[in-house]
A = this chain, B = another copy of it.
Amino acid sequence: MTDKPLKETARTTMEWGEVEKYIKQAANAFEAYRLCPKSRRANFLRQIAREIGAIRADLVETSHRETHLPEGRLNGEIDRTINQINLFAAVLEEGSWVNAIIDTANPQRTPVPKPDIRQMQLPIGPVCVFGASNFPFAFSVAGGDTISALAAGCPVLYKAHSAHPETSVLVSGCIERAAGQMNMPNGVFAALVVTREVSIQVITHPSVTAVAFTGSFSGGKALYDAAVRRPVPIPVYAEMGSINPVFLLPDRLKHHADATAAGLVASNTMGAGQFCTNPGLMVMLQSPETEQFLAAYGKQLAEQTCHTMLTPGIYDAYSAGIKHLKSIGELSILAEGKTDKLLSDTAVPIAFRVRGTDFLRNSALREEYFGPASIHVIAEDNAELLEIANMLDGQLTAGVWCTDDDIESFSPLFRILERKAGRLMINGAPTGVEVCHAMVHGGPFPATTDARSTSVGTQAIYRFTRPVSFQNYPEKLLPVELRGDNGSDIWRKVDGELTKKSL
């Protein structure tokens, strides 16, 4: 932090020399930080949460000004961010997350004695985190990526998003104050205000060991391409969005057309549609029930107005995307939201309809149009509906709205979707990603660059660790979690059995 005014600090692009200094500090901080007791790491996280809570009013005011997101939503996002931080602190305190596995020795075994081998997860090193435009708190400075990396024991180099620079400085200050108060090693966290080009330089620096990103496909893929071409490649966890297909089955629509439409219109337009999990694609069967649903959906959407989008650039991209969709002959407009008295850069919600055969032929319809837009695909029959499911790219989420009867009639659909997405849901909107142990916010490419992971929920910590085995190690050299005495009372797999017993 400097003494410059917030506005200036937030927008002064750093020189490479300064950036490099922070990278070196992070590399130096790693050894001390990874070795500091997990309880101290937990205290550090809890203090970050307290610091954020302490300046909540300031954060809401600043982020509202910067992002145009409603204050209620921003307050909710701060709650979520604080809960997420405290959840990771609790995971550290409970301690079993290190995945301790112990196979004891058997010196009598023939033909060769069995050694003592003990494994646990260790942190990998400094992580470069890229903040998202659409969540100034939950996926930004002290969001899931930063907190899961810090929980794992990795210093964080945070690339601030230009959509909310002042908010970033304020939250960075929270982390820096918490680090100071909890005597964390110098360099455990740094916020970088850099250009896109310099951010590539950061992730190709030898001291950086992983990348976490939430944003566009082009942004995430550029980071991936740079990281895998390094002399020493590093993992990239880029969450790049998705069209989040939703299948609306006939019996469900027959009985609940209006309620289904209401749920999906709200999910489409909330936050001006600026969610990675926005349901951008809906697939249904040609039928009177489908027409009933579409009429209800269209009517409800026509009554919606959105707020100003996050940035002029995002608005321009949305407008260009909608213009392109409008130019496609096979698409017809199902409904548009209100267009009178709009503030500048305000997205107009829109929904298109298209026949299944036309959808299958046009790959542009499988792309994400970030904002309150949706494409409604009308399949001619069950086979075409399954064909559409089969040809989908990897997704963050996929959903089905259905009754028990529908489940019987469309059973192959559920198996297909298991191969397409990170999170599957029944009769629910994809927006609203619960922060919990079981969450997967991830999915096959192009939804992310690494389907083996999640960026939300406690399992996110494993993105920044690797397993290490210790063979025939004396007690005093072992990490505490692997010693004979299970002093921290964690779950361990000992000779194949989960137990909390000491050896």
A interface, CB within 8 angstroms of B:
31, 35, 76, 94, 96, 101-103, 111-112, 114-115, 117-119, 122, 124-125, 224, 228, 232-233, 235, 394, 404, 407, 414-415, 418-419, 421-428, 432, 434, 436-440, 442, 444-446, 449-454, 459, 462, 465-474, 476-477, 491, 493, 495-496, 498
When distances are taken between beta carbons in the complex, the residues of chain B under 8 Å from A115 are: 425, 428, 434
Q: What residue in chain B is nearest A432 (Cβ atoms)?
A: B112
Q: Is the CB of A434 within 8 A of B467?
A: no
Are A437 and B467 in contact, CB atoms less than 8 angstroms apart? no
Q: Is the CB of B496 within 8 A of A437?
A: yes
**Partner pick for A407 among B117, B424, B474, CB 8 A cutoff:** B474
Minimal beta-carbon separation of A248 from chain B (angstroms): 16
Of all chain B residues, which has the CB nearest A482? B438
Partner of A477, one of B423, B426, B437: B426
Given A118-B438, A438-B119, A459-B119, residue A491 in contact with residue B498 (CB < 8 A): yes
Residue of B whose beta carbon sits closest to that of A394: B232
Q: How many copies does the complex hold?
A: 2
Q: Which residues of B contact A477 (CB under 8 A)?
A: 407, 414, 426
Tell me if B459 and A418 are in contact (CB < 8 A): no
Whether B423 lies near A233 (C-beta < 8 A) is: no
A439 engages B472 (CB within 8 Å): no
> Given the interface contacts A117-B438, A407-B474, A436-B103, does A467 sit within 8 Å of B449 by beta carbon?
no
Minimum CB–CB distance from A111 to chain B (whole Å) comes to 7
User: CA–CA, A394 to B466, complex, Å?
Assistant: 13
Docked pose: A103 CA to B438 CA in angstroms: 6
A127 CB to nearest B CB, Å: 14
Closest to A427 in B: B472
A94-B496, A414-B477 given; 6 more Cβ-contact pairs under 8 Å: A119-B459, A125-B419, A423-B469, A424-B473, A438-B493, A452-B466
The answer to whether A434 touches B103 (Cβ under 8 A) is: yes
Asked whether B233 lies within 8 Å of A418 as measured between CB atoms, the reply is no
* Across-interface contacts of A469 in B (CB, < 8 A): 422-424, 438-440
Which one of A418, A427, A442 has the highest number of Cβ atoms from chain B below 10 Å of its Cβ?
A418
Instruction: Give the chain B neighbours of A470 by CB distance below 8 A.
Output: 423-425
Residues of B within 8 A of A404 (CB): 474
In angstroms, how far is the closest chain B Cβ from the Cβ of A483?
14
Q: How far is the CA of A115 from the CA of B427 in the complex (A)?
A: 11
Q: Which of A418, A440, A467 has the most CB of B within 10 A?
A: A467
Q: Which residues of B contact A466 (CB under 8 A)?
A: 422, 442, 444, 451-452
The smallest beta-carbon distance between A153 and chain B, in angstroms, is 11
Residues of chain B with a CB closer than 8 A to A449's CB: 233
Interchain Cβ contacts under 8 Å between A and B, 20 examples: A76-B111, A101-B438, A101-B459, A103-B434, A114-B436, A117-B423, A118-B438, A122-B418, A233-B445, A233-B449, A235-B452, A404-B474, A423-B471, A425-B472, A437-B496, A439-B469, A442-B467, A444-B466, A454-B467, A491-B498
Given A235-B452, A414-B477, A434-B103, A468-B440 contact (CB < 8 Å): yes
